[in-house]
Amino acid sequence: MFACRLRDLKQLGLTYMVYPGAVHSRFEHSLGVFSLAGEAVHRIKAQQGSELDIDNLDIQTVKLAGLLHDVGHGPFSHTFEREFLHRTSNGLKWCHEDMSVRMIDHIVDIHNIDIDPECLKKAKDMVIASTEHVYHKGEDKKGFLYDIVANGRNGIDVDNAYGFENKTLSARFDYIVRDSRACGLGCNFQIERLMDSMRVMGDEICYRDKDYLTIYKLFSSRADLHRTVYTHAKVKAIELMVVDSLIKADGYLKISSKIQDPAEFWKIDDSIVKTIEISHDQDLKESRDLILRIRRRDLYQFCNEFAVPKDKLEHFKDITPQDIVCSQGNGDATLKEEDVTVCNVKIDLTHGRNNPLERIKFFQDFESNENFLISDDHVSHLLPAFCEDRIVRVYAKKPELVKAVSEAFENFQLKTYGMKAQVHATPDRKRNRQRLEELH
């Protein structure tokens, strides 16, 4: 039943409503990470197995972590965690990695699975290795194994080649390739080249120095996917509407109350939208109406966006609907906070404003015994000097309010930065859409 649940969780959440090919599931992704994690550790063993004392239990543990690393995900990928729970959990800290560990224990318990306790413990530690948790990697002489599925050290892992998060070698390798193909985008990142380049030095996975630009492509490909796919303006509009729908339904369906109990949590998947949509219960009417608006493509209207000026990034705080409403002028419409929604988008190379390659160790060739860091200006002067974007987008929840919201958004920029940071004004055809429809 847990495998079935992963089949009912789309890897890219609601992205398929804009990119029709993005219908692959967390189940497919988990199999991909399982396979790549196994391939990675097998290659390391082939090169350095006797030196590192890698045994079959190590291989099975890494593969198990890859298979189960996402079993604690909620519906709609990270939207559930970062948007819905952020607004309903009253400050409670919750992450899908934690829930994955609890779900693993739940699966083992209810199915009476006979598994080596040390293997299980290490697999769970590998799942949370990229989080802020204190785990037992430092006590394990094979600490490099924890960097294969969820790499908190430098962000290179096998999860990334086919999703959303800051994972490890196998995970990052998986979702970048898988998502690019599903969305009809090209991907020039070479997995095989990096897999062939891996070597453990000082209990850390390192790479040949000639592969510096290949690794840079891994991070830049991830950033391109975030900009082009994951944070696409219409994708975010749909996500915002679904989150509003779930919040309105929460009092009746008790969604947020199920996040602490694995026995209840596993029942929540993407089908919850259909549950709301086909219900005739009056308590779900407002929630249902929002889902019906999405079906009719009557979406929250994207008004405009701006990139936060570079010199303002350090002290930037998320912009709120209140900020926009307080900036409105004396127009025809009077805005209220519930008329506006704001999306604060962060796109980076996994290490904030810093270059993530500063954390990755390299070696010269397979005869070398030393690893070292490389400064990007020693490789190319074409690489970016700054590695983070913050984009602020504003949406009107009703088409007739686009003009008022757009003007308030411009006023906010003038008040905050002394200039309009947006590239261009909101088109007149969008501002006056409702009036044009009435005329026709």
Structure tokens at 397: 């929840």
Within 8 A by CB and 6+ apart from 69, the residues are 30, 33, 97, 100, 126, 127, 149, 150, 159, 167, 171
CA–CA dist 426, 409 (Å, integer): 10
CA–CA dist 38, 59 (Å, integer): 6
Quick check: is 232 catalytic? Answer: no
Could you tell me if 350 and 155 are in contact, meaning their C-beta atoms sit under 8 angstroms apart? Answer: yes
Question: Tens digits of per-residue pLDDT, 211-260?
Answer: 999 899 888 989 999 999 999 999 999 999 999 999 999 999 999 999 99
Average pLDDT over residues 333-341: 94
Grouping H, G, I as helix, E, B as strand and the rest as coil, residue 391 is strand
Could you tell me if 213 and 194 are in contact, meaning their C-beta atoms sit under 8 angstroms apart? Answer: no
Q: Is the pLDDT of residue 58 over 70?
A: yes
Domain ranges for the chain, please list them.
2-234, 300-349+387-440
Of 96, 133, 378, 424, which residue is the catalytic one? 96
H or E segment to which residue 199 belongs: strand 199-201
Mean pLDDT taken over the chain:
89
Grouping H, G, I as helix, E, B as strand and the rest as coil, residue 158 is strand
The residue written with tokens 């954390």 in the block is 359
β-strands 204-208, 362-363: how paired? parallel
Could you tell me if 102 and 259 are in contact, meaning their C-beta atoms sit under 8 angstroms apart? Answer: no
Q: How many CB atoms are located within 10 Å of the residue 108 CB?
A: 14
CA–CA dist 335, 402 (Å, integer): 10
CA–CA dist 198, 2 (Å, integer): 33
Question: Tens digits of per-residue pLDDT, 111-156?
Answer: 999 999 999 999 999 999 876 554 445 567 789 999 888 776 666 7
**What is the phi/psi pair of residue 334, to 5°?**
-105, 115
Question: Tens digits of per-residue pLDDT, 350-371?
Answer: 888 888 899 899 999 988 989 9
Q: Name the band, by pLDDT with cuts 50, 70 and 90, for residue 430.
A: confident
Burial status of residue 4 (CB atoms within 10 A of its CB: 0-12, 13-18, 19 or more): exposed
Choose among 179, 180, 149, 153: nearest CA to 167: 149
Q: 2-234 belongs to which CATH class?
A: mainly alpha
Is the entire prediction scored with pTM above 0.85? yes
Could you tell me if 178 and 11 are in contact, meaning their C-beta atoms sit under 8 angstroms apart? Answer: yes
CATH number of 300-349+387-440: 3.30.70.2760
CA–CA dist 400, 290 (Å, integer): 17
Structure tokens at 195: 């897999």
Give me the residues paired with residue 362 across strands: 207, 372
